[in-house]
């Protein structure tokens, strides 16, 4: 029997996968790929932030069952035999996959709604067949919709009378509702992370969208924010550790904010920390520029080219979440796991430095032992010897 994990090739999913593997948990993972071989390569690409190749191969041989498929296809696009095998071997589910494309109603509808419904259907079949221990859904604090200067608790987050900022928040909100209403007969846990950025233990990351937006902001001499506004950021290692602990245990609640909450830091503290570490001048805060700046970012995201366009595009999408001064109380998770998230100021400077130094790309290595220069089907440059593989295994 195994934990069925979706989204293992994603940033957070890779942390959850490596956390479960470290606990000796057998895993079934659904990976978008044309074949099992491609799926294994995509998984190696995702997990190399956490494991060296030997450890990965050992897990693959002994603890990971890879299913090449897609949430939006009928029966995940699996053969009837594979689908049966997946259902019969599933002891619990962690549904982490999602579309985070805030601008695409279609992508969010397909992955976050139809995809979640398909995972619920699998859970129902497993529950009917042999019983499911737990269904955990990775949601988001974006389900809370429009907010202003608030500290939001788990029970207050969903308020159907509020508008949503985007298709992502809207579809994740309804996905939570589907899980609650269609799985009433089994233990469910909903996890709502806030902004996940980096890892509090090391500078390396494989996720650069928000880091790029921060880099863009960190380079500006004037910021259009209120310096005392808080921003709720958490490191991926803490989020995944909390998901793994609570999913494997017996959580007291059905919903957890995985956020900095009352420990969230104000902008000025983050920019001071960055200025100190990067030996630069902290920015001047001019809150009156908030609206013109938002309009300028929108215009730049359409007009400019290159990295400015990319930074502006990302900032445009995240902008509402940067100026709403809203944080999400996480005392439930902190109390139950016994661990609080590290403050962003502890690790923001090395994270930014790593991202800039590597051109906002992770230096991936490929499948070990293949001929030099060969490109694998997952688009990973192939490593030429074992020494090329990073030996990190936290
Ligand atoms: N990142 C954040 O700041 C943040 C904050 C709050 C909540 N969350 C939640 O955390 C979860 C993971 O987010 P993330 O940041 O790790 O995102 P991510 O890196 O974009 O990963 C998304 C994962 O979902 C998979 N996926 C997407 N569409 C799929 C489909 N049709 N079929 C199968 N798999 C599919 C992706 O597979 P591919 O590799 O094939 O694309 C990938 O493994 C999501 O549920 C998100 O809502 C994230």
Tell me what pLDDT residue 300 has.
Answer: 82
Nearest to 362, CA basis, from 159, 207, 201, 170 = 207
CB burial string 10-44: b at 16+ within 10 A, e below: bbbbbbbbbbbbbeebbbbbbbbbeeeebbbbbbb
pLDDT grade, residue 143 (50/70/90)? Answer: very high
Reply yes or no on whether the pLDDT at 280 is more than 60. yes
Q: pLDDT tens digit string along 338-353?
A: 999 999 999 999 999 9
CB 15 within 8 A of CB 240: yes
Pocket test for ligand 1, best of 4, 5, 6, 7 (most atoms within 8 A of CB): 7
Tell me what pLDDT residue 370 has.
Answer: 65
At 158, is the secondary structure helix, strand, or coil? coil
Pocket test for ligand 1, best of 34, 96, 117, 314 (most atoms within 8 A of CB): 96
Pocket test for ligand 1, best of 8, 9, 12 (most atoms within 8 A of CB): 12
Pocket test for ligand 1, best of 6, 27, 28, 32 (most atoms within 8 A of CB): 32
Residue 8 alpha carbon, nearest atom of ligand 1: 43
- Cα of 15 vs centre of ligand 1, distance in Å, is 12
pLDDT grade, residue 369 (50/70/90)? Answer: low
Reply yes or no on whether the pLDDT at 106 is more than 80. yes
Least confident residue range of 81-95, 171-185, 224-238, 273-287: 273-287
- Cα of 137 vs centre of ligand 1, distance in Å, is 12
Reply yes or no on whether the pLDDT at 390 is more than 60. no
- Cα of 283 vs centre of ligand 1, distance in Å, is 33
pLDDT grade, residue 386 (50/70/90)? Answer: very low
- Cα of 100 vs centre of ligand 1, distance in Å, is 6
Tell me what pLDDT residue 389 has.
Answer: 27
Give residue ranges with CB within 6 A of ligand 1: 6-7, 9-13, 30, 32, 70-72, 96-100, 111, 115, 138, 140, 172, 193, 195-196, 207
- Cα of 151 vs centre of ligand 1, distance in Å, is 26
Please report, rounded to a whole number, the percentage of residues in the chain having pLDDT higher than 70: 92
Strands of the chain, DSSP E: 2-6, 27-31, 64-68, 90-95, 135-138, 150-152, 188-193, 195-196, 222-223, 230-231, 233-234, 255-258, 265-266, 284-285, 326-328
Q: What is the mean pLDDT of residues 285-297?
A: 88
- Cα of 327 vs centre of ligand 1, distance in Å, is 22
Residue owning tokens 């209120």: 226
- Cα of 319 vs centre of ligand 1, distance in Å, is 20
Residue owning tokens 């570490």: 277
- Cα of 186 vs centre of ligand 1, distance in Å, is 24
Q: What is the mean pLDDT of residues 264-271?
A: 96
Reply yes or no on whether the pLDDT at 286 is more than 90. yes
Reply yes or no on whether the pLDDT at 382 is more than 50. no
Name which residue sits closest to atom 19 of ligand 1, judged by CA. 10
- Cα of 287 vs centre of ligand 1, distance in Å, is 33
């Amino acid at each position: 029997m195994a934990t069925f994990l979706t989204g293992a090739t994603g940033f957070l999913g890779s942390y959850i996968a490596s956390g479960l593997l470290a606990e000796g948990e057998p895993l079934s993972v659904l990976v978008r790929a044309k074949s099992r071989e491609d799926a294994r390569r995509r998984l190696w690409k995702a997990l190399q932030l956490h494991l060296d190749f030997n450890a990965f191969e050992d897990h693959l041989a002994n603890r990971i069952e890879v299913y090449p498929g897609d949430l939006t296809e009928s029966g995940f696009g699996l053969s009837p035999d594979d689908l049966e095998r997946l259902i019969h071997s599933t002891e619990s589910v962690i549904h982490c996959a999602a579309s985070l494309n805030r601008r695409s109603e279609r992508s969010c509808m397909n992955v976050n709604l139809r995809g979640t419904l398909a995972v619920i259907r699998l859970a129902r079949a497993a529950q009917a067949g042999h019983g499911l221990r737990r269904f955990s859904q990775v949601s988001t604090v974006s389900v809370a919709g429009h907010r202003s200067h608030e500290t939001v608790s788990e029970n207050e987050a969903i308020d159907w009378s509020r508008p949503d900022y985007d298709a992502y928040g809207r579809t994740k909100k309804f996905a939570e509702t589907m899980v609650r209403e269609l799985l009433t007969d089994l233990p469910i846990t909903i996890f709502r992370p806030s902004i996940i950025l980096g890892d509090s233990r090391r500078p390396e990351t494989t996720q650069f969208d928000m880091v790029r937006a921060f880099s863009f902001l960190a380079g500006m001499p004037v910021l259009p924010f209120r310096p005392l506004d808080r921003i709720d950021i958490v490191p991926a290692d803490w989020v995944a550790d909390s998901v793994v602990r609570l999913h494997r245990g017996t959580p007291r609640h059905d919903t957890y904010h995985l956020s900095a909450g009352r420990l969230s830091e104000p902008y000025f503290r983050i920019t001071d920390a960055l200025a100190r570490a990067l030996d630069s001048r902290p920015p001047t805060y001019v809150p009156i520029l908030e609206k013109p700046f938002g309009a300028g970012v929108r215009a730049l995201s359409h007009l400019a080219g290159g990295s400015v366009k990319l930074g502006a595009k990302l900032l445009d999408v995240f902008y509402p979440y940067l100026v709403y001064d809203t944080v999400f109380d996480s005392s439930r998770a902190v109390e139950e796991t016994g661990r609080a998230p590290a403050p962003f100021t502890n690790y923001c400077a090395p994270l930014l430095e790593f991202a800039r130094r590597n051109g906002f790309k992770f230096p991936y290595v490929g499948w070990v032992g293949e001929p030099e220069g060969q490109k694998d089907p997952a688009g990973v440059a192939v490593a030429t010897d074992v020494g090329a593989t990073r030996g990190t295994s936290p």
